[in-house]
Copies of this chain bind each other. A is one copy, B any other.
């Protein structure tokens, strides 16, 4: 089985020590050449897609963790599109803080400008402070966000599909530009949105952008099962990942979809060294450059307790975490952190070092990383991995130069792109 590999670009690296560890300026993450190099490197390894996170606020970051997804993802991905030919370009964007017409047009534009390589990672946004930049009312509760997200996805997909494939006539002799009978108004009137449509843009080469989704809650899983092509998830164990994949695929079938129309891609943070000791040294240096203060604040936010409730050399206060009925954050990140800490009996400090930005972390040689990937794949736990790169560009170069060739030898990864669109390259069924 050949798997999907994507690479997440979050500032200068997923590890918050990356800006001090890597060569290059601390503000390279706003330089276009930085993104051009990343895109070309990932495409040289035939990775399926670049995956950009989205940061709509820096107040909670307090600037101690400069791994910011600070740029508009669609603008950044458009630059990467211009420097590449085949790799997919997936941007995160919030259903809570956008208008569906604008978002649909933005990602449809990226899809055209990349000739069918765009993807949208639909999120509802779980960082409370973001709301302060959009009207000042509190972040809506989880269920409210998901109700809006569902309607938002209906509108966006409706707009993307408002031009039939045969609508683009372009007959210069007769002067028929479009077959207007094949371009359909949406006339959506719902609880949250009223959108007439149609889209200003024809269908793209892949029909419409690929939809990524990352919710782990009940509502999140159901949303993914109904709408998503790819589910990005945080899973620490093969057992949990298998259970998650089985559940989401079952839900997809419940929505009348083939189970394999939905690809399950957990995060994986590899820290690569030519020996295990070298990998561990890289990890230790990154950790030392980072410190624990800002990490502790991030963990507190993720598990939904005040930072004062976390003691570095004590276990995670699991009872307190479970008692938080009003939790508005990411269930996926919270549950994965609790699972990892309790299963391995970790102190808070140990959890901070063991936790790869909320995702499974493997510190080792290319062989050891390939072994982990192979084990998970053979167990049927995943359709691939979204690689959290610790520090750019070296972390990505290590993957492309050393891990990808091993995966190819083991027949776990394609030698080249299957086609020219992201939908084709991910092995997704064609659109109806």
Residues of A bordering B, CB below 8 Å: 19-20, 25-27, 30-32, 35-36, 55-59, 62-64, 66, 68, 70-72, 74-76, 78-79, 81-83, 97-99, 101-102, 105-106, 109-110, 112-115, 129, 132-136, 168-172, 175, 177-178, 180, 183, 185, 189, 193-202, 204, 289, 291
Contact = CB atoms under 8 A, between A and B. Distances in A.
Contacts of A175: 20, 289, 291
A75 B110 contact: yes
6 closest residue pairs by CB, A with B: A26-B170, A136-B194, A82-B82, A78-B78, A132-B196, A63-B178
23 contacts: A30-B112, A30-B202, A31-B115, A32-B113, A36-B82, A56-B200, A58-B199, A59-B196, A63-B180, A71-B113, A72-B74, A72-B105, A72-B110, A74-B74, A74-B75, A74-B106, A75-B75, A75-B78, A76-B109, A79-B81, A79-B113, A101-B133, A129-B196
Contact of A71 (B82, B109, B169, B189): B109
Contacts of A19: 170, 172, 177
A8 B364 CA distance: 54
A217 to B, nearest CB: 26
A56 B101 CA distance: 8
Contacts of A101: 56, 97, 133-134
Contacts of A79: 78-79, 81-82, 113
Nearest to A99: B134
Given A74-B106, A98-B102, A132-B196, 10 more contacts: A19-B170, A19-B177, A30-B202, A32-B113, A71-B105, A74-B74, A76-B78, A98-B99, A101-B133, A101-B134
A177 B64 contact: yes
Given A81-B32, A114-B32, A177-B26, A58 B202 contact: no
A59 B198 contact: yes
Contacts of A202: 27, 30
Contacts of A169: 26
A296 to B, nearest CB: 16
Interface centre among A26, A199, A204 (most CB of B within 10 A): A26
Contact of A70 (B83, B99, B201, B204): B201
Given A31-B112, A79-B78, A172-B19, A58 B133 contact: no
Contact of A106 (B26, B75, B82): B75
A289 to B, nearest CB: 7
Contact of A75 (B32, B109, B289): B109
Nearest to A16: B177
B133 A197 contact: yes
Given A170-B19, A189-B136, A71 B32 contact: no
B113 A76 contact: yes
Contacts of A74: 72, 74-75, 106
A124 to B, nearest CB: 16
A353 B57 CA distance: 50
A185 B70 CA distance: 16
B185 A59 contact: yes
Contacts of A180: 62-63
A80 to B, nearest CB: 8
